[in-house]
C-alpha cells in the first residue's frame, strides 16, 4: 500500500508524485509535498534548495506587489499623479505574472488534475479565484481604468500556501506517534556480518541474519538474543507497561523498544514476516478505510464544491448590477476562497487517525474509523466466558491427601499427566512445575475416555480419574471423600467442557481422584479461574451504565456462578457457536447494537455477527480474524479505555464537523453579502483548517500521556525516521 512520504497517511485521490533527491515520492497533498521538501532539504541538497528558491522568489514578487499596492491604497499618489498610478499598475502586472507561475503553479496543476478526473477540488476554487483576479486586473491595466487586484491574487496564493504548509506540519505531528509503525516495512536494519555492521533494508533480513540493536532503538526483527543484556518495552505488542528483562537466549519481538543495553540478535523469521509488520499493514489498512462519517463528508464536499462555483458566479452577477464590476468580482472571489472545505475534509480523518494511533500504542488494533464510530454507539457488551473472562484452562485449586506425602502425590500424578494432553493433565503438570517437582514419564500409560488414565510410575500402577474409575479399579476411597459419591468425579474425554461434571456445592469446581497400591490417596479440585482483571473490568463497565451479558457454551451451573461472581445480570449457557449468534441477534433486537468480546479463535462467527467484535489475546492469527478490535493478551482491562476512546473520537469528529460547517456557513454568508475581502477570506480559510487540527490535537493530547514516555525514549535515541 502506498502512503504519503511525509505524513505516512494513505494517499488520497489527489495524490502528488515528485522526485526528491532522485527517488520517487508520493504525497497526499501539496502541503505535505512542501513540508517534506523543506524538512528533508536540511540534509538533502538540490531539490529542497529549488523549493526554497521558489518560495524566496515568490516572496520577493509578493512583497513588491504588496508594497506598491499598499502605497496605492493609502492614497500616496494624489490625483495629479495619474501617470504614476498607471506606471505602478503596469509594474504590478509585470510582477504578478511570474508570481502566478511560481506560486500558483501547484494549485493550477491540482485543479487541472481534478478537472481531468471530472471533478472539482479545492485547488479548482483557488485557481479560479486567482485567475479571475489576475485576468480582470490585466484587463483593467490595458483599458487604463479602475482598480487592479493583483495583490488579492497574490495574497490568496501566499496564504493558501502557508496554510497548506502549516496544516501538513500539524498533521505530521498528529501522526508522529504512528510513524514507526507505519514505516515499519521501510525501516533500515543494522546487520552484523563478518565483524562489521551495515545498514540494510528490512526486507533483506532472513531467518538466521544477525542484527545489532542499539539502546533506544526499536527491535526490527523477531529473534533470539545472542549477546547483551537489556530491558525491552513490549507495551506495543502486549499492552504490559513493565519492561521485560532480556538476556542471552531470550526471545525478542519486532516492534518492541530496546530500552537499556546493546543487543545482538539472531533473526528467527524473515524481516517482513513478523507480527509487527502484520500490525503495520493492518494499521495502514485501518487508516485507509474511510469512516462512514468521513464518507458522508466526502460526498458532501463533492456536491458542495460545484455549488460554490455556481454561487460565486451568482454573487458576481447579483452584485454587478449594483456596484462596479471590480467590486462585484471581488465579492465573488471571496465566496470562492472562503468556501474551500479544507477543514471539513480534515474533520473526520484526523480525529480518527489520532484515535487509532493511540490505541495502536497500547497494542490495541482497531480496524478503521468506522469501528470506532460503531463502538461509540454500543450500550450492551456480551462476553464469552472461557478464555475471555477465565483463564480458559482448569487449574488445580485444592488438593486433599490421604496416606501419602504431598510431594509423592504430585510426583506420581505428574508423571502420569505427562502422557496425556487432556486439560486436567495439563493442570496437574503445571502444578508440578510450580512446586518444582520434576517427574519422569509413566510407562504403559492408557487413557480410558470419559473415565481416567492409568500407567506405571516407578514400577507401580498409578491412576487418575473419576470416582467411578477408582471403584472400577477396586481401590478404597477414604471415608470423608466417599460421602460425596454423587460428585461423579472427573471424566476424561476430549470434550472438556461438556464432559467434566461439577461439584454441586461448588458449582464451578471439578473433582478428580488419584491413587496407587490399592487405595485412593488424593482428591484434586480443579477450576477454570476467573482472570484477575475480569472483576475490575466488569465493575467499571457496570459503573458506566453498560448492560453486560454472558454468552457461553459451558454448563448452566458454571455460567451462572461466573455471572454471579462478576455481577453480570443476564447470561445464556450451553450455547453452540451458532446458538451464540442467534442469542446475540435476539439481544440486539432488544438492546440495539452490541459489542461481543471473545477469544477470537473459537468465537469467530459471533464476533463477526456483533456490531463490534472484540477479540482478546488471540494475536496468533490476526489477519484471519473476524474481529474489529483486537486487544492484547491479558488486556481485558483496557476495554473501558477503548470504549472511552471511541466516545471521545466520535465527539471530536462531530465537534470538528460542527466547527467546520459553522465556520464555513458564517464565512460564506459574509462573503456573499459582500462584507468579506478576498484576502481576509483566504486568511479565514487557512485559519479554519488550523483550528480543526489544533482542536483535534489538543483533545487527544490529554490521553496520550502514558505513551509519551515511549516516544521520549525513541526521540531521545534519535531513531532514524524512514
Partner 1 sequence: MLHYLLVFLAGLAGSVHCLGMCGGFACALGRDPRGAAATLRRHLVYNLGRATTYCFLGVTIGFLGLLLCGHEGEASTVSLAQRILAVVSGVLIVFAGLQFFGFSLGRWQGLSASGARLLTRALGRLLKAPGSGAPLAFGVLNGLLPCPLVYAFVAQAAGSGGPLPGFLTMAAFSLATFPVMLMMGGAGLWLRSRGAAGSSPYSGAAALIRTERRQQLLRLAGGLIVLLGLITFARGVMPMSAHVHGL
Binding site for partner 1 (CB under 8 A): 38, 41-42, 45-46, 48-50, 52-57, 59-60, 63-64, 66-67, 70-71, 73-76
Strand partners, 227: 264
Residue 643 contacts by C-beta under 8 Å, 6 or more apart in sequence?
375, 378, 541, 544, 546
- Active site includes 528? no
Catalytic residue among 384, 554, 599, 628: 384
CA-nearest of 404, 464, 400, 413 to 439 is 413
Least distance to partner 1, CB of residue 57, Å: 5
Rounded CA gap, 303 and 642, in Å? 35
DSSP strand pairing (594-598 vs 612-616): parallel
Name the helix (H) or strand (E) containing 105: helix 105-116
Nearer to partner 1, 50 or 715 (CB): 50
In 3D space, the residue among 366, 409, 344 whose CA is nearest the CA of residue 639 turns out to be 366
Nearer to partner 1, 53 or 247 (CB): 53
Q: Which residues pair with 23 in a beta bridge?
A: 20
Rounded to the nearest whole angstrom, what is the least distance from the CB of residue 387 to partner 1 in the complex?
55
Q: Taking the complex as a whole, how short is the minimal distance between the CB of residue 48 and partner 1, in angstroms?
A: 6
468: which 3 cell numbers?
467411578
Q: Which is nearer to partner 1, 72 or 312 (CB)?
A: 72
Least distance (Å) between residue 81 CB and partner 1: 12
Cβ neighbours of 23 (radius 10 Å): 9
Write the CA distances from 417 to 147, 394, 396, 516, integer angstroms: 97, 14, 13, 14
Least gap, CB of 56 to partner 1 (angstroms): 2
* Choice between 92 and 606, CB closer to partner 1: 92
Closest CA to 290 of 275, 304, 300: 300
Partners of residue 252 on adjacent β-strands: 223
Exposure string of 492-527, with b = 16+ CB inside 10 Å and e = fewer, is beeebbeebbbbeeebbbbbbbbbbeebbbbbbbbb
- State in angstroms the smallest separation of the CB of 77 from partner 1: 9
- DSSP characters over 367-415: --HHHHHHHHH--EEEEE-TTTTB-SS-EEEEEEESSS-HHHHHHHHHH
Element (H, E) at 595: strand 594-598
Closer CB to partner 1, 21 or 320, in the complex: 21
In the complex with partner 1, which residue's Cβ is closer, 68 or 134?
68
Give the nearer residue to partner 1 in terms of CB position, either 156 or 328.
156
- Give the span between the Cα atoms of 399 and 406, in whole angstroms: 9
CA distances for 362 relative to 34, 60, 315, 668, 669, angstroms: 32, 48, 52, 42, 45
Q: Least distance from C-beta 72 to partner 1, angstroms?
A: 9
What residues act catalytically? 384
Amino acid at each position: 500500500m502506498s502512503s504519503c512520504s511525509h505524513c505516512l497517511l494513505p494517499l488520497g485521490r489527489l495524490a502528488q508524485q515528485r522526485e526528491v533527491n532522485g527517488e520517487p515520492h508520493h504525497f497526499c497533498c501539496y502541503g505535505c509535498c512542501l513540508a517534506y521538501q523543506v524538512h528533508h532539504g536540511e540534509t538533502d541538497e538540490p531539490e529542497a534548495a529549488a523549493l526554497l528558491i521558489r518560495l524566496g522568489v515568490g516572496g520577493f514578487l509578493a512583497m513588491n506587489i504588496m508594497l506598491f499596492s499598499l502605497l496605492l491604497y493609502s492614497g500616496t499618489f494624489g490625483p495629479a499623479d495619474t501617470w504614476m498610478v498607471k506606471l505602478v499598475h503596469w509594474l504590478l502586472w509585470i510582477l504578478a505574472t511570474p508570481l502566478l507561475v511560481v506560486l500558483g503553479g501547484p494549485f493550477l496543476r491540482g485543479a487541472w488534475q481534478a478537472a481531468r478526473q471530472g471533478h472539482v477540488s479545492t485547488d479548482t476554487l483557488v485557481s479560479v479565484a486567482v485567475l479571475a483576479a489576475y485576468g480582470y486586473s490585466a484587463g483593467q491595466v490595458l483599458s487604463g481604468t479602475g482598480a487592479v487586484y493583483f495583490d488579492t491574487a497574490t495574497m490568496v496564493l501566499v496564504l493558501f500556501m502557508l496554510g497548506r504548509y502549516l496544516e501538513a506540519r500539524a498533521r505530521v505531528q498528529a501522526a508522529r506517534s504512528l510513524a514507526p509503525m507505519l514505516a515499519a516495512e521501510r525501516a533500515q536494519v543494522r546487520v552484523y556480518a563478518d565483524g562489521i555492521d551495515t545498514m540494510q533494508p528490512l526486507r533483506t533480513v532472513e531467518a538466521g541474519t544477525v542484527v545489532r540493536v542499539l539502546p533506544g532503538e526499536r527491535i526490527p526483527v523477531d529473534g533470539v538474543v545472542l549477546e547483551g543484556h537489556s530491558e525491552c518495552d513490549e507495551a506495543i505488542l502486549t499492552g504490559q507497561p513493565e519492561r521485560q528483562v532480556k538476556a542471552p537466549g531470550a526471545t525478542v519481538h519486532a516492534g518492541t523498544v530496546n530500552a537499556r543495553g546493546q543487543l545482538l540478535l539472531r533473526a528467527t523469521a524473515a524481516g517482513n514476516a513478523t507480527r509487527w509488520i502484520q500490525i503495520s499493514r493492518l494499521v495502514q489498512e485501518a487508516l485507509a478505510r474511510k469512516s462512514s462519517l468521513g464518507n458522508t463528508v466526502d460526498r458532501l464536499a463533492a456536491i458542495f464544491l460545484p455549488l460554490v462555483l455556481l454561487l460565486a458566479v451568482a454573487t458576481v452577477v447579483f452584485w454587478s448590477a449594483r456596484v462596479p464590476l471590480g467590486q462585484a468580482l471581488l465579492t465573488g472571489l471571496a465566496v470562492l476562497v472562503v468556501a474551500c472545505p479544507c477543514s471539513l475534509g480534515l474533520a473526520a480523518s484526523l480525529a480518527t487517525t489520532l484515535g487509532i494511533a493511540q490505541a495502536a500504542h497500547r497494542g490495541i488494533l482497531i480496524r478503521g474509523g468506522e469501528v470506532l464510530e460503531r463502538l461509540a454507539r454500543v450500550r450492551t457488551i456480551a462476553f464469552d466466558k472461557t478464555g475471555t473472562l477465565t483463564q480458559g484452562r482448569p487449574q488445580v485449586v485444592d488438593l486433599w491427601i490421604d496416606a501419602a506425602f504431598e510431594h509423592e502425590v504430585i510426583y506420581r500424578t505428574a508423571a502420569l499427566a505427562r502422557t496425556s494432553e487432556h486439560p486436567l493433565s495439563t493442570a496437574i503438570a503445571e502444578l508440578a512445575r510450580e512446586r518444582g517437582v520434576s517427574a519422569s514419564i509413566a510407562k504403559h500409560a492408557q487413557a480410558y475416555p470419559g473415565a481416567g488414565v492409568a500407567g506405571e510410575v516407578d514400577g507401580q500402577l498409578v491412576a487418575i480419574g473419576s470416582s467411578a474409575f477408582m471403584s472400577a479399579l477396586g481401590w478404597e476411597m477414604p471415608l470423608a471423600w466417599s460421602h460425596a459419591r454423587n460428585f461423579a468425579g472427573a471424566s476424561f474425554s476430549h470434550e472438556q467442557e461438556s464432559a467434566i461434571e461439577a461439584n454441586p456445592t461448588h458449582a464451578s469446581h471439578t473433582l478428580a481422584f488419584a491413587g496407587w497400591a490399592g487405595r485412593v490417596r488424593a482428591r484434586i479440585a480443579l477450576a477454570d479461574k476467573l482472570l484477575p482483571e475480569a472483576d475490575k473490568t466488569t465493575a467499571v463497565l457496570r459503573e458506566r451504565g453498560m448492560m453486560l451479558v454472558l454468552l457461553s457454551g459451558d454448563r448452566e451451573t458454571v455460567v451462572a456462578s461466573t455471572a454471579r461472581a462478576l455481577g453480570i445480570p443476564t447470561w445464556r449457557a450451553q450455547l453452540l457457536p451458532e446458538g451464540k449468534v442467534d442469542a446475540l441477534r435476539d439481544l440486539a433486537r432488544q438492546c440495539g447494537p452490541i459489542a461481543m468480546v471473545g477469544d477470537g479463535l473459537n468465537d469467530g462467527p459471533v464476533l463477526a455477527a456483533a456490531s463490534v467484535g472484540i477479540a482478546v489475546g488471540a494475536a496468533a492469527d490476526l489477519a484471519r480474524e473476524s474481529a474489529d478490535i483486537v486487544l492484547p493478551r491479558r488486556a481485558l482491562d483496557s476495554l473501558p479505555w477503548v470504549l472511552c476512546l471511541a466516545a471521545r473520537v466520535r465527539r471530536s469528529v462531530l465537534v470538528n464537523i460542527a466547527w467546520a460547517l459553522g465556520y464555513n456557513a458564517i464565512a460564506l454568508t459574509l462573503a456573499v453579502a459582500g462584507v468579506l475581502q478576498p484576502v481576509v477570506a483566504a486568511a479565514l480559510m487557512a485559519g479554519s483548517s488550523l483550528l480543526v487540527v489544533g482542536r483535534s490535537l489538543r483533545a487527544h493530547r490529554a490521553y496520550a500521556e502514558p505513551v509519551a514516555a515511549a516516544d521520549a525514549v525513541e526521540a531521545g535515541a534519535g531513531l532514524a525516521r524512514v
